[in-house]
Amino acid sequence: MLSRRVFLSGTASLVAAPALGAALEASLRPQLRPEGLFRRALPSGAELVAEARLGGRVGYAVADAATGEILEVFHPLLALPPASVAKAVTCAYGLDRLGPGFRFRTRIMADGPLADGRLDGDLWLVGSGDPLLDTDTLARMVADLGATGLREVTGRLRLAAGPLPEIFEIDPDQPDHVGYNPAISGLNLNFNRVHFEWARTAGDYTVTMDARSESLRPAVQIARMQVEERAVPVYTYAQVEGRDQWTVARGALGENGARWLPVRRPAAYVAEVFETLARAQGLRFSGVETGGAVPDTARVLVEHISEPLEDILRGMMRWSTNLTAEVVGLLSTQAGGGQPADLASSGAAMSDWLRARSGARQAAFVDHSGLGDRSRIRAHDMVLALVAAGPNGLLRRLMRDIPMLDERGNVIADHPVQVVAKTGTLNFVSSLAGYARTPGGRDLAFGIFCADTDRRATLTEEQRERPDGARPYNARAKRLQQRLIERWAVMYR
């Protein structure tokens, strides 16, 4: 591996470990031989790709981030799935269209006269798409509502989901039960997931479904679970009377455990939790209704204002939250004058924006998170986008540090190459795009895309969550990505 001492002393090996390939020695500061000979001693990018034994296709490009000069490519015009690297484009899209200071606002509003703690009319909960709204925040809003002196509502609780369309799921090809594929709405809660927990009790199972947050866990009825005597499938899903009805195979549960399941009716989920929290404060309604426009006569009683978009996007880039990416992407398309009814049309609008902004001609997005594997981008186009964002721009500052690892997978604390990037992972898809700063201080912009789409296409529905071979593929792809970055740090320092 490349340590700071070895870099400065003038010799280095590229990923010298049995699991990562044979040691490849190269002088960084050749004293007695021509520079061309020193560089020819490095393994080529094509050799590194071949040694990775990935199958499928690999494309990469690297450029000087300041000038845009293309330094090295390998199948740079091959369009491959970006996976979550798409979020880097979504991040730039949101910063451009909405601005880093944009904030989401969630409001409780009153429509009707309010006197002596009594509202003669409806109470409105109005969303704007805040992807970070959770049960704790909603509880604080309800407590603030109580602090206004409101004790009685004669009308209904009404919910307005704001400008976003309600979308059933991000990617229909994902398994029904994965929590990273939720619905999307203008009113979102807990990333539109419900917490399912089970425990074996006297030979049977006790199950709970709740809207869990850091300090609260109110039970919900909008999502229900039934344990059934079977081995497979592990989960089934259906909508029954407006509820998410789940079943789970008894043989898959073990003693106890928990997982997050996606919510398919976010506004109804928010309504149930809000009503539960309000009831705990002694506040009841004559009914609950979703949809409709907020009357002009309604006035704000309580307002929650989110963190600025810059901070929200930093969290999205770190934790790769799909809901955040889709909400920001949809709102960005609307800010540009579009009226997307679905993710595909909004993804197409982001593709057009990227083409106009950076000249990335072949980018084609079907969503904003990269969860859909029909999105495509070329390594060359990704690098154009990164160069356009600038080596010291806000996009770079929002990216996550990518540690360089030794042969045992441990972080090398003093590694001389500094990398910030966005990772992307799907089954048999691994991507990495961002910026690398060499020991000489040169900033590189790069995109590396690895995908075995043929193998991915053969997966059955039951295999999609954890297919055989996917983890080793991902590990080999990540090793290749590190070896390429180390090559470039030496070659183009």
Judge if 295 and 444 occupy the same domain. Answer: no
Judge if 94 and 119 occupy the same domain. Answer: no
How many CA atoms lie less than 13 Å away from 462 in the CB half-sphere?
4
Q: Which H or E run contains 92?
A: helix 86-97
- Local confidence band at 22 (pLDDT 50, 70, 90 cut-offs): very low
- Local confidence band at 462 (pLDDT 50, 70, 90 cut-offs): confident
What global pTM score does this model have?
0.92
End position of a domain, from candidates 286, 306, 326: 306
Judge if 250 and 145 occupy the same domain. Answer: yes
Judge if 19 and 128 occupy the same domain. Answer: no
What pLDDT was estimated at residue 26?
Answer: 34
Percent of the chain having pLDDT more than 70?
Answer: 92
Residue-number span of the structural domain to which 458 is assigned: 4-99+309-491
Q: Which H or E run contains 71?
A: strand 70-74
What pLDDT was estimated at residue 9?
Answer: 38
Closest CA to 192 of 108, 133, 145: 133
| Number of domains, the chain | 2
Stretch 296-320: mean pLDDT, rounded? Answer: 97
- The residue that leads in pLDDT, 291 or 262, is 262
Least confident range of 2-16, 118-132, 218-232: 2-16
CA distance 357 to 289: 43
List, for residues 181-194, the tens digit of each pLDDT value. 999 999 999 999 99
Judge if 313 and 301 occupy the same domain. Answer: no
Structural contact between residues 302 and 144, judged by C-beta atoms closer than 8 angstroms: yes
Over 70: is that where the pLDDT of 234 sits?
yes
Least confident range of 23-27, 43-47, 258-262, 319-323: 23-27
What pLDDT was estimated at residue 35?
Answer: 55
CA distance 370 to 195: 24
Sheet holding 118-119, edge to edge: 114-115, 118-119, 152-153
Q: How many CB atoms lie within 10 A of CB 370?
A: 32
Judge if 284 and 324 occupy the same domain. Answer: no
Judge if 447 and 298 occupy the same domain. Answer: no
Over 50: is that where the pLDDT of 5 sits?
no
- Local confidence band at 37 (pLDDT 50, 70, 90 cut-offs): low
Judge if 478 and 385 occupy the same domain. Answer: yes
Judge if 250 and 288 occupy the same domain. Answer: yes
Judge if 260 and 338 occupy the same domain. Answer: no
Judge if 90 and 148 occupy the same domain. Answer: no
What pLDDT was estimated at residue 52?
Answer: 97
Stretch 265-294: mean pLDDT, rounded? Answer: 94
What pLDDT was estimated at residue 39?
Answer: 67
Structural contact between residues 187 and 162, judged by C-beta atoms closer than 8 angstroms: yes
Stretch 246-257: mean pLDDT, rounded? Answer: 94
Closest CA to 435 of 489, 381, 376: 489
Least confident range of 60-64, 161-165, 309-313: 161-165
Rama region for 202: left / alpha / beta (φ>0; ψ in -120 to 50; rest): left
Question: Which residues have C-beta within 8 Å of that of residue 65, sequence separation ≥ 6?
Answer: 386, 387, 390, 391, 435, 443, 444, 445
List, for residues 376-410, the tens digit of each pLDDT value. 999 999 999 999 999 999 999 999 999 999 888 89
> In 98-227, where does DSSP find H-type helix?
135-147
CATH number reported for the structural domain that contains residue 242 in this entry: 3.50.80.20
CATH number reported for the structural domain that contains residue 415 in this entry: 3.40.710.10
What pLDDT was estimated at residue 383?
Answer: 98
Residues in the chain: 493
- Local confidence band at 207 (pLDDT 50, 70, 90 cut-offs): very high
End position of a domain, from candidates 274, 306, 338: 306
Judge if 475 and 340 occupy the same domain. Answer: yes
- Local confidence band at 257 (pLDDT 50, 70, 90 cut-offs): very high
Structural contact between residues 328 and 409, judged by C-beta atoms closer than 8 angstroms: no
DSSP string, 189-217: -GGGEEEEEEEEETTEEEEEEE---SS--
End position of a domain, from candidates 271, 306, 341: 306
What pLDDT was estimated at residue 408?
Answer: 84
DSSP assigned state of 462: G
